[in-house]
A and B are shown apart, each in its own frame.
Chain A
């Protein structure tokens, strides 16, 4: 199977912690190339450096390589370019919102956390404030809506 098709299949894998979006949506799949000795080479960008989902993503990608007739292909993690939430695609943002997770605003260039201003995923109100900067997974925070008085998860901006 050619590299483009393998790339599409790996890109379509669900994220282990946010299964409503794919690795391509998340911007984690960096490239699928061919090494000098003719093997497929899959490069993944880690989201958070300590994300427990990384091993699972790599194992799933290796399984796809084997299924597609490339059992000698390799999966590696590359740190450059640095992953930021700006890499999440528009399709990915729409899926997050549809599943009740407020998508992230722009992260910008500097390592400066932006105060969360996510709209409420229950009632749509913009009158929300941070409840906890750390949530159910490393990439999610908890936001509180002052209109409907419910909490909701929001992707951290980083």
Chain B
């Protein structure tokens, strides 16, 4: 079975109830054409690529919002909600730009609130349930290291809006990385219990990191024309940086086993639908409402 993992049993062990609303298992479902695809013009390809990055930021921001009032200390409540605020700010810029690039005229709100599950193309990492505080930190560790490298590279993008976004977002993400590094070290070198849970958290998120650096036909085409940086080329720097933090924390780098994937094609884990339902709940009750 392609892409299954011991850590993904929640999304692979349940039988599908059948029908059109089944929770899709990204590891076993065939790949139909994603409904987010809108033709092949260069502007459309870039728009979809940018929308994917916006989806990553939006969904991770939404996930982190769940920690508001639930963090272990008030300082962490502030930290995680402020990081969530930054991520949603990143999503706003990226989704707005995506709607401009594809000429659809869709606003950030249209893209955040009026798309269905299959039309979101975020990596699976960002949608996984928040787990305990260690899982939250482990995900922030792997994502923020990736984000700093990716956004720094994006500062050289041909699109001026995207380049400006990369410059600014890299700075904000470096602040998030600093936070995650410190907590990883503190928990890894804390008590036996904090060490055990931090290691389990790193093991939990690790299989999902591969998808961050995957390229498909769409992204390879954009990379070949110099429109966007190659994420695959960032992997080794990312691995070296994260490994250094894990070493300092006394944690073991997990072996890279099977790697769940599918998010970039709109195929999600079963953790995703409840998150999206909550994200879109106000818009569904009050369509077009504003305040």
Quick check: A111 and B90 within 8 Å, CB to CB?
no
Quick check: A158 and B171 within 8 Å, CB to CB?
yes
Chain B contacts of A134 at CB under 8 A? Answer: 75, 78-79, 82-83, 179
Quick check: B160 and A80 within 8 Å, CB to CB?
yes
Smallest Cβ-Cβ distance to B178: which chain A residue: A113
Q: Which of A78, A81, A138, A158 has the most CB of B within 10 A?
A: A138
Quick check: A138 and B168 within 8 Å, CB to CB?
no
Chain A contacts of B173 at CB under 8 A? Answer: 111
Contact-residue size bin, chain A (C-beta under 8 Å from the other chain): 20 to 34
Smallest Cβ-Cβ distance to A79: which chain B residue: B164
Quick check: B87 and A111 within 8 Å, CB to CB?
no
Quick check: A82 and B87 within 8 Å, CB to CB?
no
Quick check: B75 and A132 within 8 Å, CB to CB?
yes
B169 CB–A CB distance under 8 Å? yes
Quick check: A49 and B163 within 8 Å, CB to CB?
no
Main SS class of interface, B: helix
Chain B contacts of A111 at CB under 8 A? Answer: 148, 151-152, 170-171, 173-174
Main SS class of interface, A: loop
Residues of A98-146 at the interface with B, using a CB-CB cut-off of 8 Å, are: 107, 111-113, 131-136, 138, 142
A84 CB–B CB distance under 8 Å? yes
B66 CB–A CB distance under 8 Å? no
Kindly provide the distance from the CB of A124 to the nearest chain B CB, expressed in whole angstroms: 25
Q: B residues touching A (Cβ–Cβ < 8 Å)?
A: 75, 78-79, 82-83, 85-90, 92-93, 148, 151-152, 160-161, 163-165, 167-175, 178-179
Q: A residues touching B (Cβ–Cβ < 8 Å)?
A: 46, 48-52, 78-84, 107, 111-113, 131-136, 138, 142, 156, 158
What are 13 A-B residue pairs whose CB atoms fall within 8 Å in the complex? A46-B89, A50-B89, A50-B90, A79-B93, A79-B164, A82-B168, A82-B171, A84-B171, A111-B171, A132-B79, A134-B78, A138-B82, A138-B86
